[in-house]
Structure formats: structure tokens, C-alpha cells
């Protein structure tokens, strides 16, 4: 059970919600084998049958801020903000290894058609951990809580860029490190992807207000960070 979808922001035009891990924003051809209720279905049930229209999306395994329109006619106004790069999105990720300095990753990402498109992400370390658990080939394991800001919005961009700099995101079975993923599952008890859209901010295209929507971490994040802190050397 996913439980109640947390509503973070609401006005007469849009809804900002905290999407849980492992929930599709909506069903599509690409996820035709997934039968669990989507975010749109869960919200419709929760909101007395009201329908909403996605403005942006997150990967199924990623949690955090998703914007939804109350009317289909509003969607294009808000999506234009994303197209013009006028939406600031701040993610946090738990990655393998120690990232010690802020950096900008400028590396193309392949799209669904197999073409490479320019992609830029900014990263900044927030906290590092070293724990006394060996993970092949090292006698201890190092991790960084990382802030990630996508300048462009390519599919899987942050996950690919984290892998590109040899600091893959924990729980990422496509682009990650299987040894660290296995340790988190078997020793610490965490199977989810550690990528969370923490904040989305923009100027409202109708009201012209500056809007900042913040999403609390899922509970397992807090539990994991506490464990890492307790185990730290």
C-alpha cells in the first residue's frame, strides 16, 4: 500500500504533490507490464473522483515533487516554463563514494530514439559517510548525500550523470553498482532508489507569484541516513 498522496501545494490552477517511490505518474506503453495504480489513479480515488493532468513527470522509482494541472487547458502554460528552463528543480541523491567539491557535469544523454542530446547537471556534496562494512573491492564503504540540479531535462539524466562520474546512485539497478546495491538490501534493509526531487520553484505563469514547493523525504531516507550516521567511522 502506498498510502495517502501528500499534497504540498494547491491553488485554483495546479496541485503539487509528493510522489512516492515505485509509483508511475501515469500508465503508458513503456510501462505496460506494471499494473499497480498510478499517481493519477491514486489521486482520483483520494480526491473524490477529480482528474488531474501531469505538467512534469518523475521516473517510477524516483520520489518527490510532481506538478499536476486541474484543467487540461492549463497544462501548456506550465509546461512552457520547463521548456524555457524557468523551473528550478533541486534533487538529493545518495551516491557511492565521496564527492568532495561542487561540479558541473556536461555530458550528452541518449534519448528514446537513440540520439544523443546535450545534458547538464550541477552537483554539490551535502554530507559524506564512511562505514565499516566491506564492499568489493574495498575494506570500507563510502557514500555522499548529494544535491543535484538538472539544467536540462533528459530522461534518466541525473542517474546517467551520477554513473558517468563514477558516483552511481544507491538503489539504481540500471545505472548503479550492484555490489553497493546488494549491501544496502542485505545489510541495511533498503531496496529503493535514493533519488528524491526535494524542491521545485518557478514564477507562476498566471498569478506571477514566486512559488517554491518542498517535498519531505520518504521515511526510509531518514532511517537510512540515521543508520549511516550511526555506522560512520
pLDDT in tens, 38-60: 999 999 999 989 999 999 999 99
Residue 140 lies in a domain: yes
Q: What is the pLDDT along the chain (233 residues), one digit of tens a residue?
A: 456 899 999 999 999 999 999 999 986 655 566 668 899 999 999 998 999 999 999 999 999 999 999 999 999 999 999 999 999 999 999 999 999 999 999 999 987 778 899 999 999 999 999 999 999 899 999 999 999 999 998 999 999 999 999 999 999 999 999 999 999 999 999 999 999 999 999 999 999 999 999 999 999 999 999 999 999 98
- Cα separations (Å) of 212 from 7, 31, 54, 88, 215? 14, 30, 18, 9, 10
Distance CA(224)–CA(130), nearest Å, equals 13
Share of the chain above pLDDT 70, in %: 95
Residue 118 lies in a domain: yes
pLDDT in tens, 176-208: 999 999 999 999 999 999 999 999 999 999 999
Q: What is the pTM of this model?
A: 0.94
**Closest-CA residue to 11 (of 161, 213, 232):** 213
- For Cα atoms 188, 146, 137, give the angle at the middle one, nearest 5 degrees: 50
DSSP bridge partners of 92: 147, 196
Which residue is listed with cell 555530458?
107
Residue 1 lies in a domain: no
Residue 37 lies in a domain: yes
Contact call for residues 177 and 168 (beta carbons, < 8 A): yes
| Domain span at 15 | 6-231
Q: Specify burial of residue 57 (Cβ count, 10 A radius: 0-12, 13-18, 19+).
A: middle
Residue 174 lies in a domain: yes
φ/ψ (deg, to 5) at 84? -90, 5
> Which residues participate in catalysis according to the annotation?
59
Q: How far does Cα 21 stand from its chain's mean position? A: 9
Number of domains in the chain: 1
CATH number for position 134: 3.30.2350.10
Which residue is listed with cell 547538464?
120
Contact call for residues 202 and 87 (beta carbons, < 8 A): yes
What number of other Cβ atoms are within 10 A of residue 12's Cβ? Answer: 9
Q: Which residues of 39-49 are buried (b: 16+ CB within 10 A; e: fewer)?
A: bbebbeeeeee
Amino acid at each position: 500500500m502506498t498510502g495517502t498522496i501528500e499534497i504540498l501545494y494547491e491553488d485554483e490552477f495546479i496541485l503539487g504533490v509528493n510522489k512516492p517511490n515505485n509509483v508511475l505518474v501515469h500508465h503508458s506503453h513503456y510501462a505496460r507490464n506494471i499494473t499497480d495504480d498510478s499517481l493519477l489513479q491514486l489521486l482520483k480515488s483520494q480526491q473524490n473522483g477529480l482528474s488531474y493532468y501531469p505538467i512534469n513527470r518523475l521516473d517510477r522509482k524516483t520520489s518527490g515533487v510532481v506538478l499536476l494541472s486541474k484543467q487540461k487547458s492549463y497544462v501548456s502554460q506550465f509546461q512552457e516554463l520547463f521548456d524555457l528552463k524557468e523551473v528550478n528543480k533541486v534533487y538529493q541523491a545518495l551516491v557511492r563514494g565521496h564527492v568532495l567539491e561542487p561540479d558541473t557535469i556536461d555530458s550528452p544523454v541518449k534519448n528514446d530514439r537513440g540520439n544523443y542530446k546535450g545534458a547538464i547537471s550541477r552537483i554539490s556534496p551535502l554530507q559524506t559517510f564512511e562505514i565499516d562494512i566491506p564492499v568489493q573491492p574495498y575494506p570500507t564503504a563510502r557514500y555522499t548525500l548529494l544535491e543535484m540540479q538538472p539544467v536540462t531535462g533528459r530522461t534518466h539524466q541525473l542517474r546517467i550523470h551520477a554513473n558517468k562520474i563514477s558516483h552511481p546512485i544507491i538503489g539504481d539497478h540500471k545505472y548503479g553498482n550492484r555490489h553497493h546495491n546488494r549491501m544496502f538490501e542485505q545489510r541495511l534493509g533498503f531496496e529503493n532508489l535514493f533519488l528524491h526531487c526535494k524542491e521545485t520553484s518557478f514564477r507562476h505563469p498566471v498569478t506571477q507569484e514566486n512559488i517554491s514547493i518542498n517535498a519531505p523525504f520518504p521515511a526510509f531516507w531518514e532511517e537510512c541516513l540515521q543508520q549511516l550516521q550511526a555506522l560512520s567511522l
